[in-house]
Structure 1
């Protein structure tokens, strides 16, 4: 199905990046999970690209969560523009750490921010929240790992676009320790988005090189990889 995603104000909502689109591509692969009838959480919804894709693929319900207040209206607009049933969509504006859904989801899908934070290029707006994270770019990855058992139903699936700039082995190791099985659906190579930070390119590369030297980032020059990862939660504690 051809889908159309629009961003009314690019100063408030990040238009889908190659990193985010890579996970959409992976969902067309042979090993991708079934989406028909699922109750899904789109974590860090942004423009609503994953919410639209999930609803188009037959998800029963989708909750679109984002810390950026502008995300909700844009997600609704894109769902409506694609002729999908907006009554199957719920939008929530909240930090992940403060989100208490009162239910668990069959599927959680996310493309966390993955660039390291530095005060020199911090802007404290919706665009920045979609790209830059504290803790060496890992803040949202860490929050997902910490919250996943509360969000995901037993037997449920976590789908994640994971940047090699933010310590993929650590995420796999920590979720495996919780009993999750991991599958790499696809790996995509792309450019670090330095053009968006041209004025602060040296500062960002310096931080990334520090991460690389510590074994927490993998990249070659200005090229890095995004891994479309699928984590499966066991049905019960006895499966761990």
Structure 2
């Protein structure tokens, strides 16, 4: 088995959302209390602290993520006292307070036993339910995690049914905006031995309208969801 403590290096998907943080319509970051779901190596946690976030909680199921995120915060000359690292499945995480901002880049590749590895790298890239497992959990948990008036920023792969997520959160009263759309390659080289299996799964999802891609190219949507301040949307 592969080393289960490995942490995924920032990918093009992750970097796309980082770029969107500079969008004119992106929320202000100074003084906020933020949650980084699936923090990995700490890409977003570092960026949020550097941009003036008062506190950042880095949440990841991989135990190696906490040490790597803290190390990267210190390496960038930032105050590690403003960082809290939590190792927990998202389903089981219950914070003491809700956050002003939630940032996440969920895994988006469909699961198959033939290429399942069970290590930290797989959990960062592959998800059950056709790649939607973490997206669905984020949607289910968002009212618990996000303060009224708060913002969810999500890097959403077109391989994992963008319209479904938008529809679900819009139905809850969240205002939705697309900050940017980035085109990139499906990371098939990482699964070269099982490329045909993965493409077959993706093509099945595309045939039912649950995935969009052209050849080996797909898109990542930098999405912003704003939770209403109250039940009547104000």
Per the TM superposition, whether the score is higher than 0.5 is yes
Change (3 A) 1:11 1:73: closer
TM superposition shift of 1:238: 1.3
Q: Deviations over 1:44-98 (max 9, x none)?
A: 0000000000000000000000000000000000000000000000000000000
User: Counterpart of 1:5?
Assistant: none
TM superposition shift of 1:162: 0.1
User: Counterpart of 1:173?
Assistant: 167
SS in structure 2 opposite 1:225? strand
- 2:11 is aligned, of 9, 14, 17, to 17
User: Counterpart of 1:127?
Assistant: 121
Give the TM-score, by structure 2 length.
Answer: 0.98
Contact between 2:7 and 2:120, CA under 8 Å: does it hold in 1? yes
Distance 2:224 2:162 in 1: 12
**Is residue 137 of structure 2 the alignment partner of residue 137 of structure 1?**
no
**Is residue 232 of structure 2 the alignment partner of residue 238 of structure 1?**
yes
> Can you give the 5+ residue segments of structure 2 that lack an aligned partner in the other structure?
none
RMSD across aligned positions (CA): 1.2
Change (3 A) 1:35 1:10: farther
Aligned length: 232
TM superposition shift of 1:137: 0.1
User: Counterpart of 2:47?
Assistant: 53
Contact between 2:5 and 2:62, CA under 8 Å: does it hold in 1? no
User: Counterpart of 1:92?
Assistant: 86
Deviating above 4 A after TM superposition, structure 1's stretches of 4 or more consecutive aligned residues are none
- 1:207 is aligned, of 201, 217, 232, to 201
Contact between 2:6 and 2:119, CA under 8 Å: does it hold in 1? yes
SS in structure 1 opposite 2:100? strand
